[in-house]
């Protein structure tokens, strides 16, 4: 029988006490420790109520495998990842369920360079877990329990050193930060403080129940941010997801923007000011990124949807910048993982150096029409539906992740949802009529393929 995959798009996710029992988490620590073999691992966690205990359970497993486990406590995921690399750890484990509702938690395993272990390595860890082929240390070689208090400090100072701090300080920005009771509550406001900003903080205390606006920043959940930006005449607002790797921006007029538009102006800024001419993004991101890259003679490389895929391409190809439509931005010179704190500092630098307002900077981007549809479809039938539609599709097609059909400046993308029995159809075009007709055509094809299943 095929064993159930434990690692999803972004680590292992589940509900503590149900899927993520202490026993399971300790055994995963043992499996990750067996995989690492030897050395010292950093263990960090997000704000969830179950996180400190699960971090102790995973540390116990690591130590039983003979790995020293260094407890870094509460910190944003990108801060833990940066600390693993910067402070010379042999790997690390982060307890987090990112933007998921409060009842969830998760386990993310990282290599010595701070980035998520590869898909192949996830497979190896799963095999160790299922075969129960754990390395168990004896009393002499059992791992030690250490403390790592420097995580936040090194993260903040590295970010400040990556930008033109003097220029930002001179601009004296007013920034509303909605950390959503999440992990950036302990880092992002301090980055802004070091960069001389006036800070208005919303939902600024860590709370595992995410009582403020939930752990996922979207235009709907960021209405308080938008109001505060207007009320305080702020230069911009920013909202983070639960573990602080993604950031969604609100302009000086109170408009909350999707990640591919804020990411596009940052792409422009980075290509203008840093060395490097390669940008990595996923197949789901707006073509506005291509327009921006073209202006600088830079290349855009597209991956499957998922931050781990973007990270891998960025490292392999030495890309300077990466972005996702959900507000994840990756700044190569810092670390090739998405990072809400680094992204915010780059946004401040953009405003300081261009002297633009955020709304003005965003309004310079070409505009595209977008559309979204979803279809109910049993999880095990989704691949079949995509295959059927692929046979009938006309135009240039890309099948690296679902089905993407491109026709000039119009494209549609059919993909299964990560967790639900749903297929999603996205579309984008510079021409509204063309978009509508292409969406209608593929909507009918998908519907016909679903109906033919019965």
Residues with catalytic annotation? 98
* Rounded Cα distance, 170 and 273, in Å: 18
Beta bridge partners of 369: 429
Report whether 76 contacts 155 (CB < 8 A): yes
- If the CB atoms of residues 116 and 243 are measured against Mg ion, the closer one turns out to be 243
Minimum distance, C-beta of residue 403 to Mg ion, in the bound complex (Å): 27
- Which helix or strand (DSSP H or E) is residue 307 part of? helix 307-317
Among 98, 247, 326, 344, binds Mg ion (CB under 5 A): 98
- If the CB atoms of residues 180 and 204 are measured against Mg ion, the closer one turns out to be 180
- If the CB atoms of residues 207 and 388 are measured against Mg ion, the closer one turns out to be 207
Minimum distance, C-beta of residue 246 to Mg ion, in the bound complex (Å): 5
Report whether 251 contacts 358 (CB < 8 A): yes
- If the CB atoms of residues 99 and 302 are measured against Mg ion, the closer one turns out to be 99
DSSP string, 321-345: EEE-TTSBEEETTTEEEE-HHHHHH
Distance between first and last Cα of the chain: 27
Minimum distance, C-beta of residue 96 to Mg ion, in the bound complex (Å): 7
- If the CB atoms of residues 51 and 98 are measured against Mg ion, the closer one turns out to be 98
Size of the site for Mg ion (CB under 5 A): 4
- Residues numbered 195-254 forming contacts with Mg ion, rule: CB under 5 A: 241, 243, 245
- 339 CB neighbour count, 10 Å cutoff: 29
- Residue 437 has φ and ψ, to the nearest 5°, of -70, -35
Cα 400–chain centre separation: 20
- If the CB atoms of residues 218 and 390 are measured against Mg ion, the closer one turns out to be 218
Q: How many CA atoms lie within 13 A of 433 on its CB side?
A: 0
Interface segment toward Mg ion; rule CB under 5 A; list 81-89, 93-101, 157-165, 188-196? 93-101
- If the CB atoms of residues 98 and 111 are measured against Mg ion, the closer one turns out to be 98
- In order of 120, 134, 256, the CA distances from 35 in angstroms are 12, 9, 43
Question: How many residues can be counted in the chain?
Answer: 454
Interface segment toward Mg ion; rule CB under 5 A; list 15-23, 98-106, 209-217, 255-263? 98-106
Q: What is the largest CA-CA distance in the chain?
A: 71
- If the CB atoms of residues 116 and 245 are measured against Mg ion, the closer one turns out to be 245
Minimum distance, C-beta of residue 402 to Mg ion, in the bound complex (Å): 22
Is residue 46 a contact residue for Mg ion (CB under 5 A)? no
Alpha helices (H) along 51-174: 51-64, 77-86, 119-131, 151-162, 165-171
Report whether 308 contacts 401 (CB < 8 A): no
Starting at the earlier edge strand, list the strands of the sheet with 369-376.
369-376, 422-429, 410-416, 403-407, 396-398
Report whether 316 contacts 325 (CB < 8 A): no
* Rounded Cα distance, 178 and 84, in Å: 26
Question: One symbol per residue from 261 to 290: x for binding Mg ion (CB under 5 A), - otherwise; what is it?
Answer: ------------------------------
- If the CB atoms of residues 66 and 340 are measured against Mg ion, the closer one turns out to be 340
Interface segment toward Mg ion; rule CB under 5 A; list 97-105, 170-178, 319-327, 375-383? 97-105
Give every CB contact of residue 140 below 8 A, 6+ residues apart in sequence.
none
DSSP string, 220-256: TTTHHHHHHHHHTT-SEEEEE-TTSSBEEEE-TTS-B
Is residue 50 a contact residue for Mg ion (CB under 5 A)? no
> Nearest residue to Mg ion, using CB?
98
Report whether 278 contacts 408 (CB < 8 A): no
- Residue numbers at the binding site for Mg ion (CB under 5 A): 98, 241, 243, 245
């Amino acid at each position: 029988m095929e064993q159930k995959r434990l690692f999803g798009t972004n680590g292992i996710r589940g509900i503590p006490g149900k899927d993520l029992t202490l026993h399971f988490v300790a055994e995963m620590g043992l499996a990750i420790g067996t995989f690492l073999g030897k050395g010292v691992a950093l263990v960090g966690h997000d704000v969830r109520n179950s996180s400190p205990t699960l971090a102790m359970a995973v540390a116990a497993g690591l130590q039983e495998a003979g790995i020293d486990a260094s407890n870094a406590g509460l910190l944003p995921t990108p801060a833990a990842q940066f600390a693993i690399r910067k402070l010379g750890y042999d790997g690390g484990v982060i307890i987090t369920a990112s933007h998921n509702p409060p009842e969830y938690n998760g386990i993310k395993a990282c290599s010595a360079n701070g980035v998520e272990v590869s898909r192949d390595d996830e497979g190896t860890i799963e095999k160790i877990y299922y075969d129960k082929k754990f390395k168990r240390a004896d009393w002499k070689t059992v791992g030690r329990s250490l403390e790592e208090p420097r995580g936040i400090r090194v993260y903040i100072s590295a970010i400040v050193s990556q930008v033109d701090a003097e220029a930002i300080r001179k601009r004296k920005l007013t920034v509303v930060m909605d950390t959503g009771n999440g992990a950036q509550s302990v880092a992002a406001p301090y980055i802004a403080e070091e960069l001389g900003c006036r800070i208005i903080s919303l939902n600024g205390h860590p709370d595992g129940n995410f009582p403020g606006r939930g752990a996922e920043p979207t235009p709907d959940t960021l209405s308080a941010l938008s109001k505060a930006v207007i009320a305080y005449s702020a230069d911009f607002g920013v909202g983070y997801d639960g573990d602080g790797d993604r950031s969604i921006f609100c302009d000086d007029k109170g408009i909350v923007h999707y990640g591919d538009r804020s990411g596009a102006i940052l792409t422009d800024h980075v290509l203008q000011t840093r060395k490097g001419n390669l940008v990595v993004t996923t197949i789901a991101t707006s073509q506005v990124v291509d327009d921006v890259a073209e202006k600088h003679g830079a290349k855009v490389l597209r991956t499957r949807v998922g931050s781990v895929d973007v990270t891998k391409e960025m490292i392999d190809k030495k890309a300077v910048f990466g972005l996702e439509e959900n507000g994840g931005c990756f700044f190569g010179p810092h670390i090739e993982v998405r990072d809400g704190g680094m992204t915010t500092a780059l946004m401040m630098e953009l405003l300081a150096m261009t002297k633009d307002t955020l709304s003005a900077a965003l309004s310079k981007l070409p505009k595209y029409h977008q559309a979204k549809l979803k279809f109910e479809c049993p999880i095990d039938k989704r691949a079949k539906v995509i295959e059927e539609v692929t046979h009938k599709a006309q135009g240039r097609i890309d099948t690296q992740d679902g089905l993407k059909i491109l026709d000039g400046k119009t494209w549609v993308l059919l993909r299964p949802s990560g967790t639900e029995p749903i297929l999603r159809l996205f579309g984008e075009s510079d021409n509204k009529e063309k978009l509508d007709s292409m969406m209608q055509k593929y909507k009918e094809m998908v519907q016909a393929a679903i109906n033919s299943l019965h």
